[in-house]
Structure 1
Amino acid sequence: MKKEERIRVGISIGDLNGIGSEVIMKTFEDPRMLDFCTPVIFASVKVLSFLKKQLKSSINLHGIDTTSQILDGKVNVLNVWKEPVSISFGKEDPAIGAYAIKSLKAATQALKSNEIDVLVTAPINKASIQAEDFKFPGHTDYLNQELDGDSLMFMITDDLKVGLLTDHVALKDITQAITPELIQNKINTIYTTLQQDFGISKPKIAVLGINPHSGDNGVIGKEDDEVLKPTLEKIRAENKLVYGPYAADSFFGSNAYTTFDAIVASYHDQGLIPFKTLSFGKGVNYTAGLHKVRTSPDHGTAFEIAGKGIADAGSFKEAVFAALTIFKKRNEYKTLTENPLKKQARKPVQRKR
């Protein structure tokens, strides 16, 4: 690789009692990863050195105290704290959750100030992170506030992309949450994301129905006829290739999804069950709709196998590669839209020192 500034990948450590540290270390044990990017793990080099021994990892860690000390060709660990931490693999612990939030907040601040280029988040335990100064159901809602965006959970692989109208919303509240405004905002976000982050000039999007069989003409609920269908008609009038609503029960089994660039599901399980069935271990959770790039693996803390050294790092590695690819694509898109007649070289990121 040329001697140019590598993309800095900030990594929040997630729940230390889960598999996050293991999949991070397994990803960067491969020295070839350092040809693609410069990782910066927001945690504690003492804690990660302890975990390295516990997990028998071969990774080489470079401890730093400020972002000005980041070195290319190294796995940088920025010390967010220095006190010892008591780790109990597989245990749900609010004290460990507090360290996950310290890491996330520090990484997010570095992202906002351009000291890192992208953010990849290791899994957290949603119960452990709840505190007086952190009342968010997960990463996405926190980043949406901090990065001033209109976030959307977008599950991606090379061949399958699934976006959600509602994400962490209780089933009983979904029909009230899905409004014409929400549908338009989310589909517009997906449309723009496919263009700027994936290089698809004229995206083709499928939308799944809210009710079984998309309501069966009102027999199984009126929301599809009264809310979803009229809104999709308005979007199609804007010359966007948006189709549906399709009955969700047969859409994936019939391979209909293979003819679309993205699928929009009405709620969490409607989209994530088929996505994870088709791509588990390779999928990536991408937060679309933000001014910065954030990805994460498609799995959770996996407490049941934490500390055993058997976690599969495939999804985390894919999350890193996805963040790098999206960052480059977005910069290319900005260059072309700002000056469509002349492709300019990417300007270096201004970093705080």
Structure 2
Amino acid sequence: MTKKAENIIVGISIGDLNGIGSEIILKTFEDSRMLELCTPVIFANVKILSFIKKTLESTVMLQGIDRLDQIVLGKINVLNVWQEGVDINFGVNDENVGKYATKSFVAATKALKEGKIDVLVTAPINKYNIQAENFKFPGHTDYLDQELEGNALMLMVQDNLRVGLLTDHIPLNDVASHLTEELIVKKIETIKKTIIQDFSINKPKIAVLGLNPHCGDGGVIGKEDDTILKPTLKKIFEKGTLVFGPFAADGFFGSHQYDKYDAVIATYHDQGLIPFKTLSFGNGVNYTAGLNKIRTSPDHGTAYDIAGKGIADYNSFKEAVYLAIDVFNSRNEYAEISQKPLKTKEK
């Protein structure tokens, strides 16, 4: 069933309290029109967020709640995930603050999993200070992949530019050994399904970038493109998926070849994210594709160097909220269409 806009519950994990996360959240919802599109629920503590609000001279009104059944539609709700105080030192990498970032994220993920919020938008974390005995994940995506059904895939989105990754947070010297036919097939199937159900494009065209410079130049600069990527992409194409490549990565973005495709898949993290952020920094969104629930985040980190100064650009976070709502609506429409019986002509 399609929800009225203001009834869409957007859960927000607070991220690193010493970073810019709280600032970009507050700035996003200073525009009262945002509350006509959704109802936000920030997983944190209302006293701490009120302190940060006062420090940043924000004008938003916060609604503290202790349970999710207390959500007030059309208000900025703050769920008290914890009750104790936390020392805030903007710009400082603090292991204790990392624990609260984890508490917020785990509680928000649980609420998403149980259907108590509709979508999740995560503020930036510090991947180092969140590490603990009960949380040993490189970041948000890996934990979501464990907790939610599906196959998580990092998809960077800005308007019609969508860049996915075959491998993400692994060392560069391990990339080639991870590129197997099984992985490539799984990732392309995931991105195809995502583009269809989440972006309403029925026959997506997908481009794949080569691993080596010039796609290996016939094996002179590496054999993986010829022995793994090309034959695998050929098999996938022959089964009906419009997948093309591998393309030499160095000129693909500069020549605007990406304009011809609905999604681009890079073989490793920086190959995709450097050109993406160059083209869209400040407006891009990190979307976790392939899961049974919806999660987005801004395309930047904690920005300790400007934290607490009131100068953080919040556009990427606002775009993350917009995209989460758009995908939520697209999935609902796709589900409704998929459930409708096909009409047959009467003889």
Question: Which of the five TM-score ranges fits, normalised by the shorter chain?
Answer: over 0.9
Residue matched to 1:35: 36
Aligned-partner SS, 2:218: coil
Confirm whether residue 94 of structure 1 aligns to residue 95 of structure 2: yes
After TM superposition, which residue ranges in structure 1, 4 or more long, deviate above 2 angstroms?
2-5
Aligned-partner SS, 1:217: helix
Change (3 A) 1:94 1:4: closer
Measure the CA separation in 1 of the matches of 2:5 and 2:299.
31
Following superposition, the deviation at residue 157 of structure 1 comes to: 1.3
Residue matched to 1:241: 242
Residue matched to 2:151: 150
Residues 118-139 of structure 1, C-alpha deviation per residue, up to 9 Å, x if partnerless? 0000000000100000000000
Residue matched to 1:74: 75
Residue matched to 1:293: 294
Point out the more displaced range, 234-243 or 9-18: 234-243
Aligned-partner SS, 2:163: strand
Following superposition, the deviation at residue 51 of structure 1 comes to: 0.0
Question: Aligned AA for 2:224?
Answer: E
Residue matched to 1:186: 187
Residue matched to 1:279: 280
Residues 300-328 of structure 1, C-alpha deviation per residue, up to 9 Å, x if partnerless? 00011000000000000000000000000
Measure the CA separation in 2 of the matches of 1:15 and 1:325.
26
Question: How is 1:296-315 mapped onto 2 (pairs within 5 angstroms)?
Answer: 296-315=297-316
Measure the CA separation in 2 of the matches of 1:340 and 1:159.
31
Following superposition, the deviation at residue 57 of structure 1 comes to: 0.5
Aligned-partner SS, 1:27: helix
Following superposition, the deviation at residue 247 of structure 1 comes to: 0.3
Residue matched to 2:60: 59
Following superposition, the deviation at residue 338 of structure 1 comes to: 1.4
Question: Aligned AA for 2:310?
Answer: G
Gap regions ≥5 residues in structure 1: 343-353
Question: Aligned AA for 2:257?
Answer: A
Measure the CA separation in 2 of the matches of 1:115 and 1:3.
16
Question: How is 1:221-232 mapped onto 2 (pairs within 5 angstroms)?
Answer: 221-232=222-233
Would the aligned equivalents of 2:45 and 2:80 in 1 still touch at CA under 8 Å? yes
Question: Aligned AA for 2:191?
Answer: I
Residue matched to 2:176: 175
Measure the CA separation in 2 of the matches of 1:110 and 1:29.
25
Point out the more displaced range, 298-307 or 4-13: 4-13
Following superposition, the deviation at residue 5 of structure 1 comes to: 6.2
Measure the CA separation in 2 of the matches of 1:99 and 1:15.
8
Residue matched to 2:213: 212
Aligned length: 341
Measure the CA separation in 1 of the matches of 2:174 and 2:4.
52
Measure the CA separation in 2 of the matches of 1:272 and 1:190.
16
Aligned-partner SS, 1:115: coil
Measure the CA separation in 1 of the matches of 2:339 and 2:4.
27
Residues 141-191 of structure 1, C-alpha deviation per residue, up to 9 Å, x if partnerless? 000001132100000011200000000010000000111100000011010
Residue matched to 2:141: 140
Point out the more displaced range, 96-105 or 3-12: 3-12
Aligned-partner SS, 2:41: strand
Residue matched to 2:324: 323
Residues 249-268 of structure 1, C-alpha deviation per residue, up to 9 Å, x if partnerless? 00000011111101000000
Residue matched to 1:348: none
Would the aligned equivalents of 2:5 and 2:36 in 1 still touch at CA under 8 Å? no
Aligned-partner SS, 2:219: coil
Aligned-partner SS, 1:34: helix
Residue matched to 1:85: 86
Gap regions ≥5 residues in structure 2: none
Residues 50-103 of structure 1, C-alpha deviation per residue, up to 9 Å, x if partnerless? 000111101100000001110111000000011110011111111000000000
Question: Aligned AA for 2:64?
Answer: G
Question: Aligned AA for 2:223?
Answer: K
